[in-house]
Amino acid sequence: MAAQPRITDSHCHLDFPQLRAELPDILDRARAAGVHRMVTICTSLPQEPSVRALAEAHDGVFYAAGTHPMRAAEDPMATVEQLVALAAHPKMVGIGETGLDYHYTAESAAAQQESLRLHIAAARQTGLPLIIHARDADADIARILGEEHRAGAFSCVMHCYSSGPALAETALGLGFFLSISGIATFRNAEPLRAIFRAAPRDRLLVETDAPYLAPVPHRGKRNEPAFVADTARAAAAFLDMPYGDFAALTEANLDRLFAKAAR
């Protein structure tokens, strides 16, 4: 059997119990699908030591750390100094995920915005990319990212992009990346696919957000990193690219953004 094109799952949660309980098998299936790297995301800094240990234990597994916006009012507020210190680890490759989520936690908007600005300062200081979660908060996300970028440049990926064209235009205008998740494979996602078609191809990544948002043909099941290949094949099709070319494109894009993972 011919080797699968190499590809990276740029955002997953290997420490979540749905995946950690059978992690060796999940990593084996990922590698069989051509997934040679994964960036596992720590969403709560008290859990950072266990996520770091997971990355240390497995070749090809890197990590990012931050406070998820839905936890911004529950967890101790992260400090820039704390994030910068964590970023010294050779396998920590990004800051976040951070951002704004007003769908379930609009009441903590002020704490979320404060947390976001602290994470941006850490991304700016370390040179590591910021990882943004945006849900039902497009106007505030666009405003804060624009304000902060004018105050000092930083790199960023809009993870699991599923917002509208206006936020995409703002993010791309700042030089940021958009990450394609399983949502783009859903039948009713044509407006989202149009956003990715219009984006510069050197600004696209691909991810699972496992254990969530499994792509077609796995929709409704637990997601896992191996399924990033299904999302990538669907993206290659709607971008009218051979799968191998799309895999190589996203590998090059990830190496530019997550430079520590490239090394």
| 231 is a domain residue | yes
> What pLDDT, on a 0 to 100 scale, did the predictor assign at position 3?
79
Number of structural domains found in the chain: 1
More confident position, 2 or 81:
81
| 150 is a domain residue | yes
> What pLDDT, on a 0 to 100 scale, did the predictor assign at position 2?
64
| 121 is a domain residue | yes
| 167 is a domain residue | yes
Find the domain containing 34 and state its range.
Answer: 7-262
Mean pLDDT of 184-199: 98
Task: Indicate yes or no: pTM above 0.95.
Answer: yes
| 1 is a domain residue | no
CATH number, residue 194: 3.20.20.140
| 252 is a domain residue | yes
The 3 state secondary structure assigned to the chain is CCCCCCEEEEEECCCCHHHHCCHHHHHHHHHHCCEEEEEEEECCHHHHHHHHHHHHHCCCEEEEECCCHHHCCCCCCCCHHHHHHHCCCCCEEEEEEEEEEHHHHHHHHHHHHHHHHHHHHHHHHHCCCEEEEEECCHHHHHHHHHHHHHHCCCCEEECCCCCCHHHHHHHHHCCCEEEECHHHHCCCCHHHHHHHHHCCHHHEEECCCECCCCCCCCCCCCCCHHHHHHHHHHHHHHCCCCHHHHHHHHHHHHHHHCHHHHC
| 2 is a domain residue | no
